[in-house]
Amino acid sequence: MTEARSQPLQVDGVAALDRAIAILDAFATADRSLSLAEIAARTGLYKSTILRLANSLLRGQLLERLDDGRYRIGPATFRLGALYQRSVVAVDILLPIMRDLAERSWESVAFYVRSGDARTCLYRVESKHPIRYTIREGDLLPLLAGSGGRVLAAFSGQPGEPYETIRKACHYLSIGDRDPETAGVSVPVFGPGRVLLGALTLAGPSTRVDTAFLRRMTPDLLEAAARATRAFGEDGSMLEQAARLAGAETVIGLSSP
């Protein structure tokens, strides 16, 4: 922030574009509007620089000035967001992330979406082991059983436990919940406006995939969900924080006598 104040006040070319982006980035999801002083505090830019750049952003409808002088994000950003969403193919985002998880874990990775009172396996990457649990793309499974279903239910507003805990931890680990011989861990993936897109699941036979293994893989799964969430246009910091907490809990568990 202090670097922006120490540089000459250039408002053309690349410097102007970088600073205009900084102004738009100053708005958080919870902000309905910001004052000039708030934008200056968050960006480190002089108010005079913000005013000059804001005029261009106002003309492009990327910003709006309210009657009380405050600023809010303009309607052109909605159009750009819609264009981005149409240009993003979910499989292009999810499959590379899922393949990476399968490569590191040697277990199956699936992506589930809610289908009414059930869930559907939308994408799947198979385990490298010859013995694995078999779910196919398109299979319909219960919503309130298994880690993937529990996560989908939790972030769809299902009340009570274990759903309250799932919403706090951003993951759920299950052994024998849906199938007595299957274990897995699942995390949510979000789109713009923190809309739930689906659940990312790592699972395998419980004879091989035990609690310790799933706990070790949980931070990686949460980081993967954060990457997917960012690629879909939403803030992934909540999932990254959950990954750090899960990683710390794993370290404590491993060091405990």
Residue type, 163: Y
Residue 251's pLDDT is 53
Residue 136's pLDDT is 80
Residue type, 233: G
CA distance 49 to 53: 6
What is the 8-class DSSP label of residue 37? H
| Mean pLDDT, rounded, of the chain | 86
Q: Place 9 in a pLDDT band, splitting at 50, 70 and 90.
A: very low
Residue 150's pLDDT is 95
Question: pLDDT digits over 207-238, tens only?
Answer: 887 899 899 999 999 999 999 999 998 999 99
- 63: buried, middle or exposed (CB in 10 Å: 19+, 13-18, 0-12)? buried
Residue 140's pLDDT is 85
CA distance 194 to 158: 16
Mean pLDDT within 43-53: 94
- 15: buried, middle or exposed (CB in 10 Å: 19+, 13-18, 0-12)? middle
> Which pair of tokens denotes residue 148?
């993937």
Question: pLDDT digits over 129-162, tens only?
Answer: 665 566 788 888 899 999 999 999 999 999 999 9
- Best CA proximity match to 110, nearest among 60, 19, 43, 178: 178
In the Cβ-directed half-sphere of 197, how many Cα atoms lie within 13 Å? 25
Percent of the chain whose predicted confidence (pLDDT) is above 70: 87
- Best CA proximity match to 183, nearest among 158, 213, 225: 213
CA distance 73 to 57: 9
Name the strand (E) or helix (H) holding 242.
Answer: helix 237-255
Question: pLDDT digits over 170-217, tens only?
Answer: 999 998 877 787 899 999 999 988 999 999 999 988 888 789 989 999
Whether 142 contacts 135, CB under 8 Å = no
Q: Place 2 in a pLDDT band, splitting at 50, 70 and 90.
A: very low
> Which pair of tokens denotes residue 227?
């990457």
Q: Place 253 in a pLDDT band, splitting at 50, 70 and 90.
A: very low
Residue 97's pLDDT is 95
Mean pLDDT within 79-83: 71
